[in-house]
Amino acid sequence: MRLVWFRNDLRLADNPALRSCCGNAGADEEPVAALFVISPTQWRQHKMAPIRQRFILARVDALGLELAALGIPLHLLRVETFAELPAALAELARELGVTRLYAHQAIELDEQRRDRAVDTALAKQGTSCHWLNGCCVLPPGRVLTGSGEMFKVFTPFSRAWLKALDEDGFVIHRAPPPRGESQPWQPLAERAFADEAIGDVSPDPRWPVGEAEASRRLNDFLDQAVLDYGETRDFPALAGTSVLSPYLAAGIISPRQCVAALHQRLGCRPQSKAQPGFVWLNELIWREFYRHLLVLVPSLSMNLPFKPETGALPWSWDPDAFAAWCEGRTGYPIVDAAMRCLNATGWMHNRLRMIVASFLTKDLHIHWRLGEDYFMSKLIDGDLAANNGGWQWAAGTGADAAPYFRVFNPTTQGQRFDPQGEFIRTWVSELADLPATCVHQPHDWLRLKGRQYYPAPMVDHAVARVRAIAMFRDLEKK
The runs of H, that is alpha helices, within 97-174 are: 109-123, 154-168
Count of residues in the chain? 478
Element (H, E) at 289: helix 278-296
Q: Catalytic residue at 185?
A: no
DSSP bridge pairs for 34: 4, 74
- 368 an active-site residue? yes
Cα 203 versus chain centre, distance: 19
H helix or E strand, kind and range, residue 100:
strand 100-104
Catalytic residue among 30, 80, 213, 283: 283
Selection from 214, 156, 167, 456 nearest residue 333 by Cα = 456
Q: Tell me whether residue 315 is one of the annotated catalytic residues.
A: yes
Return d(Cα 167, Cα 159) in angstroms, integer.
13
- Residue 37's beta-bridge partner residues? 77
Of 435, 15, 447, 64, whose CA–CA distance to 253 is shortest? 15
Query: Is residue 283 annotated as part of the catalytic site, yes or no?
Result: yes
Q: Judge whether 350 counts as a catalytic residue.
A: yes
The single residue of 315, 325, 347, 393 carrying the catalytic annotation is 315
Convert 263-296 to b/e letters by CB count within 10 Å (16 or more is b): eebbeebbeeeeebbbbbbbbbbbbbbbbbbbbb
d(CA 364, CA 343): 20
The end-to-end CA distance of the chain, in Å, is 60
- CA Rg, the chain, in Å? 24
Which strands sit side by side in the sheet containing 128-132, from one edge to the other? 74-78, 32-38, 2-6, 100-104, 128-132
Query: In terms of Cα–Cα distance, which of 54, 48, 40, 8 is closest to 377?
Result: 48
Distance CA 372, CA 377 (A): 9
Q: Give me the helix-helix angle, 211-224 and 255-266, nearest 10°.
A: 40
Q: Name the binding residues for FAD.
A: 229, 241-245, 280, 283-290, 381-383
Rounded to the nearest 10 degrees, what angle do helices 350-358 and 410-417 cross at? 170
Q: Which of 43, 325, 347, 368 is catalytic?
A: 368
Known catalytic membership, residue 5: no
Q: How far apart are CA 134 and CA 15, in angstroms?
A: 7
Catalytic residue among 161, 286, 347, 427: 286
Catalytic residue among 131, 350, 422, 445: 350
How many CB atoms lie under 10 A from the CB of residue 449? 12
Active-site position among 43, 391, 393, 427: 391
Active site residues: 283, 286, 315, 350, 368, 391
